[in-house]
Amino acid sequence: MAAVDFEESPEVREVAVKIINQHHPHLQDAADLIGFYFRFGASDWAGKAKKCTAFERHATGYMLFVFINAEDWKHLNPEKRNALVDHELCHFMRTSHRKYDEELQKWTEEWEPADQPDNWTIRDHDVEEFSQVIQRHGLWDVGIEQFARAVRNAPYQKDLFEDERQIRTI
Ligand SMILES: [Zn+2]
């Protein structure tokens, strides 16, 4: 079996930067602090988001990592690649505080400095549930209800991960 290997991916970064500019305002000044890597070798996940350890920060200069399974990436169309990268970016949370903007006369959210590790955390998925439990008990939890609403309002209902190939993100 081939050894596991990593390689920085400008291709994944390019996809990520577009998504960041559209949907992740808290990452806009932090894209350079995220390392995007292909992972070669078998794994049971397609993508993974991680906060760097102190040593990883020292060794790479990054604050956060996104790992993409290189084999899965090859088989995904652009839409699915976007969804996978967006998913991983959603894991990154940054502390902020509310600030009153005198000019706009309203409260705005101000992000804490991107280069401070303590300002970053990894966020869990909105929903952690078995499909069997939803089949048997319906939308029994507020989080699942919100999730179901998002599914109903999604721009297209086709299954993003309908491939025979099972994509799992963590
Ligand atoms: Zn995830």
| pLDDT single digits (tens) 113-148 | 999 999 999 999 988 888 898 889 888 888 888 888
Whole-number Å distance between alpha carbons of 66 and 48 = 6
Q: Which helix (H) or strand (E) holds 144?
A: helix 142-153
pLDDT at 100: 92
pLDDT at 151: 85
Query: How many A from CA of 47 to the centre of ligand 1?
Result: 8
Query: How many A from CA of 146 to the centre of ligand 1?
Result: 18
Name the pairing type of β-strands 64-69 and 96-101. Answer: unpaired
Structure token digits, residue 145? 């209800």
Query: How many A from CA of 129 to the centre of ligand 1?
Result: 13
Query: How many A from CA of 167 to the centre of ligand 1?
Result: 11
In angstroms, the Cα distances linking 30 to 66, 99, 123 are: 13, 20, 17
Name the pairing type of β-strands 120-122 and 96-101. Answer: unpaired
Nearest to 118 by CA among 42, 63, 55, 162: 63
List of domains in the chain: 5-124 (3.30.2010), 129-155 (no CATH)
Query: How many A from CA of 170 to the centre of ligand 1?
Result: 4
Whole-number Å distance between alpha carbons of 116 and 135 = 43
- Under the banding of pLDDT at 50, 70 and 90, the label for residue 90 is very high
Q: Which one of 37-41, 125-129, 153-157 scores highest in mean pLDDT?
A: 37-41
Residue that the structure tokens 């890597």 belong to: 37
Q: What is the mean pLDDT of residues 36-63?
A: 96
How many CB atoms are located within 10 Å of the residue 95 CB?
A: 13
- Enter the pTM of the model: 0.84
